[in-house]
Amino acid sequence: MANTHDLAMLAKAETLVEALPYLRRYEGRTFVVKYGGHAMGDPELAHDFAEDVVLLKAVGINPVVVHGGGPQIGAMLKKLGVESRFVDGLRVTDKATAEVAEMVLSGAINKQIVSWIAGAGGRAVGISGKDGGLVTATKVQRTTRDPDSQIEQVVDLGFVGEPSRIDTTLIDSICASGMIPVIAPIAVGEDGETYNINADTMAGSIAAALGAARLFLLTDVAGVLDKDKNLLTDLRPADIARLAEDGTISGGMIPKLETCVHAVEAGCEAAVVLDGRVSHAMLIEMFTAQGAGTLIRA
Protein backbone atom coordinates (compact mmCIF):
# COMPACT_ATOMS: atom_id res chain seq x y z
CA MET A 1 0.00 0.00 0.00
CA ALA A 2 1.38 3.41 -1.01
CA ASN A 3 2.33 5.77 1.80
CA THR A 4 1.48 9.46 1.96
CA HIS A 5 4.79 10.51 0.42
CA ASP A 6 4.33 8.15 -2.54
CA LEU A 7 0.80 9.44 -3.14
CA ALA A 8 2.04 13.04 -3.09
CA MET A 9 4.78 12.20 -5.61
CA LEU A 10 2.22 10.42 -7.81
CA ALA A 11 -0.08 13.44 -7.70
CA LYS A 12 2.80 15.69 -8.79
CA ALA A 13 3.67 13.36 -11.66
CA GLU A 14 0.03 13.25 -12.80
CA THR A 15 -0.10 17.06 -12.70
CA LEU A 16 2.94 17.25 -14.98
CA VAL A 17 1.43 14.73 -17.39
CA GLU A 18 -1.84 16.70 -17.47
CA ALA A 19 0.08 19.92 -18.15
CA LEU A 20 2.22 18.54 -21.00
CA PRO A 21 -0.27 19.06 -23.89
CA TYR A 22 -0.84 22.64 -22.79
CA LEU A 23 2.90 23.31 -22.54
CA ARG A 24 3.34 22.08 -26.11
CA ARG A 25 0.39 24.11 -27.36
CA TYR A 26 1.60 27.42 -25.92
CA GLU A 27 5.35 27.14 -26.40
CA GLY A 28 6.59 30.35 -28.04
CA ARG A 29 3.26 32.13 -27.52
CA THR A 30 2.58 35.27 -25.47
CA PHE A 31 0.49 35.65 -22.32
CA VAL A 32 -0.43 39.18 -21.20
CA VAL A 33 -1.14 39.39 -17.48
CA LYS A 34 -2.86 42.34 -15.82
CA TYR A 35 -1.71 42.29 -12.22
CA GLY A 36 -3.29 44.37 -9.46
CA GLY A 37 -5.89 44.33 -6.71
CA HIS A 38 -5.43 42.75 -3.30
CA ALA A 39 -3.05 40.12 -4.69
CA MET A 40 -0.47 42.88 -5.17
CA GLY A 41 -0.68 43.85 -1.49
CA ASP A 42 -0.27 40.33 -0.10
CA PRO A 43 3.43 39.31 0.16
CA GLU A 44 2.70 35.58 -0.13
CA LEU A 45 0.48 36.02 -3.20
CA ALA A 46 3.03 38.41 -4.73
CA HIS A 47 5.70 35.73 -4.29
CA ASP A 48 3.42 33.11 -5.91
CA PHE A 49 2.66 35.47 -8.80
CA ALA A 50 6.37 36.07 -9.44
CA GLU A 51 7.05 32.32 -9.36
CA ASP A 52 4.24 31.70 -11.87
CA VAL A 53 5.58 34.33 -14.29
CA VAL A 54 9.12 32.94 -14.04
CA LEU A 55 7.83 29.40 -14.62
CA LEU A 56 5.91 30.49 -17.74
CA LYS A 57 9.10 32.00 -19.14
CA ALA A 58 11.10 28.88 -18.25
CA VAL A 59 8.74 26.59 -20.22
CA GLY A 60 8.95 28.71 -23.37
CA ILE A 61 5.96 31.03 -22.96
CA ASN A 62 6.47 34.81 -23.13
CA PRO A 63 4.70 36.50 -20.20
CA VAL A 64 4.07 40.25 -20.44
CA VAL A 65 2.97 41.91 -17.19
CA VAL A 66 0.84 45.07 -17.12
CA HIS A 67 0.20 46.33 -13.60
CA GLY A 68 -2.20 48.68 -11.90
CA GLY A 69 -1.83 50.57 -8.65
CA GLY A 70 -5.02 52.46 -7.88
CA PRO A 71 -4.91 51.91 -4.09
CA GLN A 72 -1.25 52.94 -3.93
CA ILE A 73 -1.95 56.09 -5.96
CA GLY A 74 -4.89 56.86 -3.67
CA ALA A 75 -2.71 56.40 -0.56
CA MET A 76 -0.03 58.72 -1.93
CA LEU A 77 -2.57 61.37 -2.92
CA LYS A 78 -4.08 61.20 0.56
CA LYS A 79 -0.63 61.58 2.10
CA LEU A 80 -0.05 64.65 -0.07
CA GLY A 81 -3.49 66.06 0.76
CA VAL A 82 -4.83 65.79 -2.81
CA GLU A 83 -8.53 64.81 -3.03
CA SER A 84 -9.71 62.25 -5.62
CA ARG A 85 -12.95 62.20 -7.58
CA PHE A 86 -14.17 59.30 -9.74
CA VAL A 87 -16.49 59.10 -12.76
CA ASP A 88 -17.52 55.61 -13.97
CA GLY A 89 -14.63 54.10 -12.01
CA LEU A 90 -12.02 56.38 -13.60
CA ARG A 91 -10.08 58.82 -11.43
CA VAL A 92 -10.45 62.43 -12.52
CA THR A 93 -6.79 63.30 -13.08
CA ASP A 94 -5.47 66.85 -12.97
CA LYS A 95 -1.84 67.73 -13.65
CA ALA A 96 -0.73 67.15 -10.05
CA THR A 97 -2.55 63.82 -9.85
CA ALA A 98 -1.03 62.70 -13.16
CA GLU A 99 2.45 63.41 -11.82
CA VAL A 100 1.77 61.42 -8.65
CA ALA A 101 0.29 58.53 -10.68
CA GLU A 102 3.39 58.37 -12.87
CA MET A 103 5.68 58.51 -9.85
CA VAL A 104 3.85 55.68 -8.09
CA LEU A 105 3.20 53.47 -11.14
CA SER A 106 6.42 53.86 -13.13
CA GLY A 107 8.54 54.16 -9.99
CA ALA A 108 7.74 52.31 -6.79
CA ILE A 109 5.27 49.68 -8.00
CA ASN A 110 6.97 48.88 -11.30
CA LYS A 111 10.38 48.31 -9.74
CA GLN A 112 8.90 46.34 -6.86
CA ILE A 113 7.37 43.83 -9.30
CA VAL A 114 10.69 43.63 -11.18
CA SER A 115 12.44 42.83 -7.89
CA TRP A 116 9.85 40.15 -7.02
CA ILE A 117 10.48 38.43 -10.35
CA ALA A 118 14.24 38.65 -9.79
CA GLY A 119 13.75 37.13 -6.35
CA ALA A 120 11.92 34.19 -7.97
CA GLY A 121 14.86 33.57 -10.31
CA GLY A 122 13.70 35.50 -13.38
CA ARG A 123 14.91 38.59 -15.21
CA ALA A 124 12.49 41.45 -15.79
CA VAL A 125 12.64 44.93 -17.28
CA GLY A 126 10.38 47.66 -15.93
CA ILE A 127 9.02 50.11 -18.49
CA SER A 128 5.95 52.26 -19.12
CA GLY A 129 3.93 52.97 -22.23
CA LYS A 130 6.19 55.99 -22.77
CA ASP A 131 9.30 53.89 -23.43
CA GLY A 132 10.26 53.13 -27.01
CA GLY A 133 7.03 54.65 -28.31
CA LEU A 134 5.20 51.61 -26.93
CA VAL A 135 1.80 53.26 -26.39
CA THR A 136 0.37 56.46 -27.82
CA ALA A 137 -2.62 57.72 -25.86
CA THR A 138 -5.67 59.80 -26.62
CA LYS A 139 -7.70 61.65 -24.03
CA VAL A 140 -10.70 59.69 -22.74
CA GLN A 141 -14.08 61.28 -23.44
CA ARG A 142 -16.95 60.52 -21.07
CA THR A 143 -20.52 61.76 -20.85
CA THR A 144 -22.94 61.62 -17.93
CA ARG A 145 -26.71 62.08 -17.88
CA ASP A 146 -28.18 64.69 -15.53
CA PRO A 147 -30.74 62.81 -13.36
CA ASP A 148 -33.18 65.74 -13.39
CA SER A 149 -33.01 67.07 -16.95
CA GLN A 150 -31.85 63.81 -18.57
CA ILE A 151 -29.46 65.92 -20.65
CA GLU A 152 -26.10 64.34 -21.44
CA GLN A 153 -23.10 66.38 -20.34
CA VAL A 154 -19.45 65.93 -21.25
CA VAL A 155 -17.23 65.15 -18.25
CA ASP A 156 -13.60 66.27 -18.35
CA LEU A 157 -11.53 63.52 -16.72
CA GLY A 158 -8.31 65.47 -17.15
CA PHE A 159 -5.21 63.46 -18.01
CA VAL A 160 -6.93 60.08 -18.34
CA GLY A 161 -6.17 58.37 -21.62
CA GLU A 162 -6.71 55.23 -23.63
CA PRO A 163 -4.36 53.56 -26.11
CA SER A 164 -4.76 54.75 -29.71
CA ARG A 165 -1.62 53.14 -31.10
CA ILE A 166 0.62 50.29 -29.90
CA ASP A 167 4.15 49.65 -31.20
CA THR A 168 5.25 46.25 -29.87
CA THR A 169 8.90 46.56 -31.00
CA LEU A 170 10.23 47.09 -27.47
CA ILE A 171 8.17 44.25 -25.99
CA ASP A 172 9.32 41.90 -28.76
CA SER A 173 12.97 42.82 -28.11
CA ILE A 174 12.68 42.30 -24.35
CA CYS A 175 10.96 38.91 -24.75
CA ALA A 176 13.47 37.77 -27.38
CA SER A 177 16.33 38.60 -25.00
CA GLY A 178 14.96 36.16 -22.42
CA MET A 179 13.52 38.80 -20.11
CA ILE A 180 10.02 39.66 -18.92
CA PRO A 181 8.50 43.09 -19.63
CA VAL A 182 6.72 44.73 -16.69
CA ILE A 183 4.65 47.66 -17.98
CA ALA A 184 3.22 50.64 -16.08
CA PRO A 185 -0.01 52.05 -17.61
CA ILE A 186 1.37 55.50 -18.37
CA ALA A 187 1.65 56.85 -21.92
CA VAL A 188 2.25 60.04 -23.85
CA GLY A 189 -0.34 61.56 -26.17
CA GLU A 190 0.01 63.09 -29.61
CA ASP A 191 -0.17 66.41 -27.76
CA GLY A 192 2.94 65.56 -25.74
CA GLU A 193 1.02 65.29 -22.47
CA THR A 194 1.34 62.37 -20.04
CA TYR A 195 -1.81 60.26 -19.58
CA ASN A 196 -2.79 57.74 -16.93
CA ILE A 197 -4.47 54.68 -18.52
CA ASN A 198 -6.69 52.11 -16.82
CA ALA A 199 -4.51 49.00 -16.42
CA ASP A 200 -7.19 46.61 -17.72
CA THR A 201 -7.59 48.73 -20.85
CA MET A 202 -3.82 48.92 -21.35
CA ALA A 203 -3.42 45.15 -20.96
CA GLY A 204 -6.27 44.43 -23.38
CA SER A 205 -4.85 46.72 -26.07
CA ILE A 206 -1.36 45.23 -25.71
CA ALA A 207 -2.74 41.67 -25.83
CA ALA A 208 -4.60 42.48 -29.05
CA ALA A 209 -1.55 44.12 -30.64
CA LEU A 210 0.66 41.14 -29.75
CA GLY A 211 -1.88 38.57 -30.93
CA ALA A 212 -1.50 37.01 -27.49
CA ALA A 213 -2.69 33.48 -26.81
CA ARG A 214 -4.17 34.68 -23.51
CA LEU A 215 -5.05 37.85 -21.66
CA PHE A 216 -5.36 37.29 -17.92
CA LEU A 217 -7.20 39.85 -15.80
CA LEU A 218 -6.37 39.02 -12.18
CA THR A 219 -9.21 40.37 -10.05
CA ASP A 220 -10.58 40.18 -6.51
CA VAL A 221 -13.43 37.82 -7.46
CA ALA A 222 -13.56 34.21 -8.65
CA GLY A 223 -14.62 35.25 -12.16
CA VAL A 224 -18.01 35.97 -13.71
CA LEU A 225 -20.84 34.60 -11.57
CA ASP A 226 -24.44 33.88 -12.52
CA LYS A 227 -27.38 35.04 -10.38
CA ASP A 228 -27.01 31.97 -8.15
CA LYS A 229 -23.31 32.84 -7.58
CA ASN A 230 -22.09 29.92 -9.70
CA LEU A 231 -18.95 30.48 -11.77
CA LEU A 232 -19.53 30.89 -15.51
CA THR A 233 -16.52 29.24 -17.11
CA ASP A 234 -16.98 29.92 -20.84
CA LEU A 235 -18.50 33.03 -22.44
CA ARG A 236 -18.85 34.61 -25.88
CA PRO A 237 -19.39 38.35 -26.55
CA ALA A 238 -23.13 37.75 -27.13
CA ASP A 239 -23.39 36.04 -23.72
CA ILE A 240 -21.75 39.03 -22.05
CA ALA A 241 -24.16 41.47 -23.71
CA ARG A 242 -27.11 39.39 -22.50
CA LEU A 243 -25.74 39.12 -18.93
CA ALA A 244 -25.22 42.89 -18.77
CA GLU A 245 -28.73 43.52 -20.07
CA ASP A 246 -30.44 41.29 -17.49
CA GLY A 247 -28.32 42.63 -14.62
CA THR A 248 -26.36 39.43 -13.94
CA ILE A 249 -23.14 41.39 -14.33
CA SER A 250 -22.86 44.97 -13.16
CA GLY A 251 -20.54 47.59 -11.73
CA GLY A 252 -16.81 47.17 -12.24
CA MET A 253 -17.17 43.78 -13.93
CA ILE A 254 -18.77 45.36 -17.02
CA PRO A 255 -15.71 47.40 -18.12
CA LYS A 256 -13.46 44.39 -17.42
CA LEU A 257 -15.54 42.21 -19.71
CA GLU A 258 -15.72 44.97 -22.34
CA THR A 259 -11.92 44.97 -22.29
CA CYS A 260 -11.91 41.19 -22.79
CA VAL A 261 -14.35 41.42 -25.71
CA HIS A 262 -12.31 44.18 -27.36
CA ALA A 263 -9.12 42.14 -26.96
CA VAL A 264 -10.51 38.89 -28.42
CA GLU A 265 -12.22 40.69 -31.30
CA ALA A 266 -9.00 42.57 -32.11
CA GLY A 267 -6.52 39.69 -32.22
CA CYS A 268 -6.09 38.02 -28.81
CA GLU A 269 -7.15 34.35 -28.87
CA ALA A 270 -8.93 34.37 -25.51
CA ALA A 271 -9.19 36.33 -22.27
CA VAL A 272 -9.61 35.01 -18.75
CA VAL A 273 -11.05 36.73 -15.68
CA LEU A 274 -9.77 34.93 -12.60
CA ASP A 275 -9.17 35.38 -8.90
CA GLY A 276 -5.73 36.79 -8.18
CA ARG A 277 -6.21 35.96 -4.50
CA VAL A 278 -5.92 32.23 -5.27
CA SER A 279 -2.35 30.94 -5.25
CA HIS A 280 -1.12 29.91 -8.71
CA ALA A 281 -4.51 30.66 -10.28
CA MET A 282 -2.90 31.29 -13.69
CA LEU A 283 -1.18 27.91 -13.72
CA ILE A 284 -4.36 26.12 -12.65
CA GLU A 285 -6.30 27.89 -15.43
CA MET A 286 -3.76 27.16 -18.16
CA PHE A 287 -2.41 23.73 -17.34
CA THR A 288 -5.38 21.77 -15.99
CA ALA A 289 -8.54 20.55 -17.70
CA GLN A 290 -10.73 22.05 -14.95
CA GLY A 291 -9.37 25.61 -15.17
CA ALA A 292 -9.93 28.34 -12.59
CA GLY A 293 -11.76 31.35 -14.02
CA THR A 294 -14.06 32.64 -16.76
CA LEU A 295 -12.80 32.23 -20.32
CA ILE A 296 -13.96 34.71 -22.97
CA ARG A 297 -13.40 34.04 -26.65
CA ALA A 298 -14.84 35.43 -29.88
> What pLDDT, in 10s, does the model give residues 135-170?
999 998 877 766 677 777 777 888 999 999 999 999
For 95-111, the pLDDT digits (tens) are 888 999 999 999 999 99
- Which residues form the domain of 183? 29-296
Q: Is residue 18 part of a domain?
A: no
Could you tell me if 217 and 273 are in contact, meaning their C-beta atoms sit under 8 angstroms apart? yes
Helix extents (H) in the chain: 4-26, 38-41, 43-58, 70-80, 95-102, 110-119, 169-176, 199-210, 237-245, 253-265, 281-287
Identity (one letter) of the amino acid at 53? V
Q: CA-CA distances (angstroms) from residue 18 to 41, 78, 107, 131, 189?
A: 32, 48, 40, 39, 46
- Residue 197 sits in a domain of what CATH number? 3.40.1160.10
Phi (first) and psi of residue 118, to 5 degrees: -60, -40
pLDDT band per the 50, 70, 90 thresholds, residue 10 = low
Q: Is residue 288 part of a domain?
A: yes
Could you tell me if 71 and 41 are in contact, meaning their C-beta atoms sit under 8 angstroms apart? yes
Report the DSSP pairing between strands 90-91 and 231-232.
unpaired
Q: Is residue 9 part of a domain?
A: no
Q: Is residue 102 part of a domain?
A: yes
Q: Is residue 6 part of a domain?
A: no
Q: CA-CA distances (angstroms) from residue 152 to 89, 139, 144, 147, 282?
A: 18, 19, 5, 9, 41
Range with lowest mean pLDDT among 114-128, 174-188, 248-262, 280-294: 280-294
Q: Is residue 16 part of a domain?
A: no
Q: Is residue 266 part of a domain?
A: yes
Number of compact structural domains in the chain: 1
pTM exceeds 0.85? yes
Q: Is residue 13 part of a domain?
A: no
For 164-187, the pLDDT digits (tens) are 999 999 999 999 999 999 999 999
